[in-house]
Amino acid sequence: MRRVWAGIGQAVESAAIAAVGLVLCALVLLAVWGVDGGFAGDPLVQWRIAADAWLVGHGVDLSLQLGRDAVIAVGIEAASRPFAITLGAWGIGLITLWLHWRSGRRLAELPILDAGIATLCGALATGTVGLLAAVSAQHPIASPDLAQAFALPALVALVGMAAAIVRVHGHDWLDAASRALTIEDRWMRPIRAALRTGAGGAVAVLGVGGLVLGVGLFTRFAEGLLVMESLQVTHLGAFVLFLLQLALAPVAIVWAAAWAIGPGFMIGTGSHVSPLGTDLGPIPAMPLLSAIDPEAAPWMLAVVALPVVAAVVVGALARQTILAGEPSGPVHWWELAIAGVGGGVLAGALLGLAAMLSSGSIGPGRLAEAGPDAVLVAAWGALEVGVGLLIGLVVGGRGVGSLAREGEGSTIREVLGLRAGRDAADASAGGADADAQETRPVAPLAEPAPASLVTAEPATAEPQESSPVVAVSIEDQVQTQAVDPVDAPAGGAEATDDLPEPQRGGDGAHPIPSADDDERPR
């Protein structure tokens, strides 16, 4: 029953996340319809546009068949024929991904089977909302693909929740995988470095793309204002146009990163934008595209070095943290080679995937092809990031040492750096216990306690010269009950010089137990 309620709860939450995104898009367009349009026309048109925008933001293809008036307004003869919009405005999809990531962090607290069922229910609920939105937005002019409307939003939600769950339960799953997959200890360190430097290199190159985009928009700010004035939009329309630029910002960052790497991108068949040259035809009037300089300058070739420099920084940091040589295990040259080459290949694959998601059709005719070439971006990215990582790994330390000490072997957990963190935590906990034992106070040997608090051993007992001294705390002495002495029988043993007369029972054979007997060593 718990699994059923977990699935129902996540399905409701995922459906609410998708519905909120749709409602926000609809509210923006309804505001434009009411303020700028004076509530004239059919409000369902605004809803269809909002649903189309939300679906395109999740990568759903949108088929268009423009009317005669729209074709005249566009001014392109090919617009009279059916065409499709396949380039996703991923800014909207990233919001859905992030919200489901937060949901997945909460689902990770459930048992793994319950979390899996809830994740599947949430993805199905998101896909259902997308399908309903696509059905309601069907129109002869614009019609989203129904199959993609269900699958792609569901996939975005599934990736967000699954990534959060894997992050929390990765240790357990790696433990299970390590039973079958093992890696020798000498290969563990460079492979872990390759995984981390590859992901870090891809993020660094995308950061370079964001920097290039920002500099381009800043230096060509006047051209962007001219584009805004040519559109003749109202204040509210300018705000909606700004939101559209934000939705397309992830795509623009990937395009800028592809430009910085070298292959560049295209906006229409036959066009090319790269540091080597720019050949543009008619492009959509969007302020975000004003960052493109129509004339390539010689200094732009220096931009190609930025991804290499970013990879050098990542490699140097990895050498200092992951591949830090030690006297017992100095860094060997083949470790640097594996980390650099493997990291470059992984970074190239990630950049190629980003380029593939940022390519598609943005209009009729020649605008059916836009974006970077995923294969070229992957190849050039792997080469530049790999070279930068190798340089950073070499110069990031004191040099290449001798062969590292061979170990007995390691598991997949160690490759991803999970077991090392656990061992460090155990070592710190053991060190804390040792410190606590070392700092435990030991009471000095004091004068004998009063007779009311100490019970002596029988006179017949032999003295224990080598017995350890056990300190009795003040609280124990306070809590100890005083025992009244019992008169010893006639002829009993005499007390020693240092201790009072022992207390005996009525038969004189056994001492009366006291509270100190449990603590005083025998």
pLDDT digits (tens, 9 = 90+) for 103-132: 999 998 888 888 889 999 999 999 999 999
- Alpha-carbon distance of 302 to 306, in angstroms, equals 8
Most confident of 41-45, 190-194, 516-520: 41-45
Which one is predicted more confidently, 464 or 9? 9
What percent of the chain stands above pLDDT 90?
Answer: 39
- Alpha-carbon distance of 118 to 105, in angstroms, equals 12
Which one is predicted more confidently, 75 or 238? 238
Beta bridge partners of 62: 85, 144
Which one is predicted more confidently, 184 or 280? 280
| Residue 168 pLDDT greater than 50, yes or no | yes
| Residue 521 pLDDT greater than 70, yes or no | no
Instruction: Note whether 141 and 66 are within 8 A (CB).
Output: yes
Q: What is the pLDDT of residue 15?
A: 95
Which one is predicted more confidently, 292 or 282? 292
In three-state secondary structure terms, 323 is coil
Q: How many residues belong to the chain?
A: 522
- Alpha-carbon distance of 209 to 198, in angstroms, equals 17
The secondary structure of residue 291, as a DSSP letter, is: G
Pairing status of strand 370-371 against strand 266-267: antiparallel
| Residue 236 pLDDT greater than 90, yes or no | no
Which one is predicted more confidently, 385 or 426? 385
What percent of the chain stands above pLDDT 70?
Answer: 70
Q: What is the pLDDT of residue 506?
A: 43
| Residue 28 pLDDT greater than 80, yes or no | yes
At 63-87, the pLDDT tens digits run 998 877 777 777 777 778 888 999 9
Q: What is the pLDDT of residue 184?
A: 62
Instruction: Note whether 397 and 406 are within 8 A (CB).
Output: no
| Residue 23 pLDDT greater than 90, yes or no | yes
Query: What stretch of H or E contains 278?
Result: strand 277-279
Q: What is the pLDDT of residue 411?
A: 43
Span between the terminal Cα atoms of the chain, in Å: 60
Which one is predicted more confidently, 272 or 168? 272
Q: What is the pLDDT of residue 247?
A: 93
**413: nearest Cα among 186, 175, 189:** 175
Total-model pTM: 0.73
Buried b (16+ CB within 10 A) or exposed e, 86-104: bbbbbbbbbbbbebbbebb
pLDDT band at 200 (very low <50, low <70, confident <90, very high): very high
Q: What is the pLDDT of residue 331?
A: 67
Pairing status of strand 182-183 against strand 277-279: unpaired
At 341-378, the pLDDT tens digits run 999 999 999 999 999 999 999 988 888 899 999 999 99
At 317-349, the pLDDT tens digits run 888 776 665 544 556 778 888 889 999 999 999
Instruction: Note whether 319 and 396 are within 8 A (CB).
Output: yes
Structure tokens at 22: 């749709």
The secondary structure of residue 515, as a DSSP letter, is: T
Q: What share of the chain is helix, strand, coil (3-state, %, to 5)?
A: 60, 5, 35
Q: What is the pLDDT of residue 24?
A: 93
pLDDT band at 410 (very low <50, low <70, confident <90, very high): very low
Q: What is the mean pLDDT of residues 162-171?
A: 78
- Alpha-carbon distance of 159 to 98, in angstroms, equals 10
Which one is predicted more confidently, 266 or 470? 266
| Residue 224 pLDDT greater than 60, yes or no | yes
Structure tokens at 247: 């939705």
pLDDT band at 520 (very low <50, low <70, confident <90, very high): very low
- Type of residue numbered 85: I
Q: What is the pLDDT of residue 179?
A: 52
Which one is predicted more confidently, 6 or 497? 6
| Residue 457 pLDDT greater than 50, yes or no | no
| Residue 449 pLDDT greater than 90, yes or no | no
H runs (alpha helix) in 322-409: 333-357, 374-395
Q: What is the pLDDT of residue 112?
A: 83
| Residue 92 pLDDT greater than 50, yes or no | yes
Which one is predicted more confidently, 505 or 357? 357
pLDDT band at 5 (very low <50, low <70, confident <90, very high): confident
**202: nearest Cα among 417, 324, 380, 413:** 380
Phi and psi dihedrals of 20, rounded to 5? -65, -40
- Type of residue numbered 211: L
- Alpha-carbon distance of 408 to 299, in angstroms, equals 53
At 487-499, the pLDDT tens digits run 444 444 444 444 4
Q: What is the pLDDT of residue 361?
A: 92
Helix-helix angle 305-321:235-261, to 10 degrees = 70
Which one is predicted more confidently, 329 or 383? 383
DSSP string, 188-243: HHHHHHHHHHHHHHHHHHHHHHHHHHHHHHHHTHHHHHHHHHHHT--HHHHHHHHH
| Residue 49 pLDDT greater than 50, yes or no | yes
Average pLDDT, the chain: 77
| Residue 390 pLDDT greater than 80, yes or no | yes
Beta bridge partners of 142: 64
pLDDT band at 170 (very low <50, low <70, confident <90, very high): low
- Taking the C-alpha atoms of 128, 130, 136 and 137 in order, what is their torsion angle to the nearest 10 degrees? -160
- Alpha-carbon distance of 137 to 85, in angstroms, equals 15
